[in-house]
Structure 1
Amino acid sequence: MRPAAPEDEPALDAFFGHVDAEDLRFRFLSAVRKVDHDQLKAMVTIDHDRTEHFLAFDPASGQIIATAMLAADQSFRRAEVAIAVHRDFKRMGISWTLLDHVAEFARWKGILTLESIESRDNHDAIDLERERGWIASACPGDPTSTILRMTL
């Protein structure tokens, strides 16, 4: 696992081609069919002070198998987390590992609270985050989403 770099854009594009449509909707909270060039570019050319996009690689093939984004607010008190996993690598504990890695990185940065906005239909992510100690609450103004928070 390592932070994304500009040269990762083609591999990231290939990765998102292996993420189920429903998981893309959960990751981007919209009906995304394909992650476009501008979105990919934003993921690999980032402000490393406030945002980090981690990539997890399969050691055998070298392909990206998961991503985790951490985006802090201007005060560095709160940060949002979003994870996506390659369809062939789901249910292997990768999301758990990424969530732990992102939390540890956030602690190192001095961030106090992590948040994840999840579709209420994304039971796997909500269950995972609750198992890791995150607290769920209603998303103000959006009855289709849930906010999960973890105090570091």
Structure 2
Amino acid sequence: MMPDETETLVTRTGFRFFLRPVSRRDEDMLVELFRQVSSDDLRFRFLSGERETSEQRFAQLLSDPAARVTSFLAFDEQRQVIASATLKGDAAGEHCEVAIMIRAASKGRGIGWTLLDYLVGYAENAGYTSLVSIEDRDNHASIALQRQMGFATEPVADEPTLVRVCRRLR
């Protein structure tokens, strides 16, 4: 997918949304999205208690091929941003970390499932051998969704509040 291309995705509930890569011009949209997520979702996304998202955090959400980061924005039919998704590969091109953020008012429509399914395929096509996320143990909905999609969980050494969720891709 090229930077200005948009892909149409449809959830199991029939909700249709659009996905495209993030670009530098999207910072205002990212700021607005992060204002419309719950404090728990923000904590789960960045594994911290910060409520405001810094410019440095937004910079991490931009696609950067040199850093093996690919980020996407999801839009509803009114072109409002409803979610963001980021893949960050390791230097060896073996493992890829995934993170998804969904606007609070857009939850419950199957967006998370559909985005994760898309990202699994994207990571497979990019040649990664595994897809990983580090989750707060309290993020039960995300962990359950990932388990339904074939991810396995394991503790994170010396971090009792975190769990590593992983899926082998090939």
State the TM-score bracket (shorter-chain normalisation).
over 0.9
Gaps of 5+ in 2: 1-18
Regions of 4+ moved over 3 Å:
none
CA displacement, residues 45-102 of structure 1 (integer Å, 9 cap, x when unaligned):
5236611011111112x11101111000011110111111000001110000110111
- Counterpart amino acid of 2:72? F
Which residue, out of 15, 32, 40, partners 1:22?
40
Alignment of 1:1-150 (within 5 A): 1-44=19-62, 46-47=64-65, 50-60=68-78, 62-150=79-167
SS in 2 for 1:147: strand
Gaps of 5+ in 1: none
Task: Please state how far the C-alpha of 1:32 moved relative to its aligned partner.
Answer: 1.8
- Counterpart amino acid of 1:58? D
Q: How many residues align?
A: 151
Which residue in 1 is equivalent to 2:5?
none
Seq. identity, %:
38
CA RMSD after TM alignment:
1.2
Task: Please state how far the C-alpha of 1:41 moved relative to its aligned partner.
Answer: 2.6
- The 1:89/1:6 distance shift into structure 2, 3 A limit, reads same
Task: Please state how far the C-alpha of 1:124 moved relative to its aligned partner.
Answer: 0.3
SS in 1 for 2:52: coil
- The 1:45/1:69 distance shift into structure 2, 3 A limit, reads closer
CA distance in 1, matches of 2:152, 2:75: 29
CA distance in 1, matches of 2:33, 2:65: 22
- Counterpart amino acid of 2:142? A
CA distance in 1, matches of 2:63, 2:165: 27
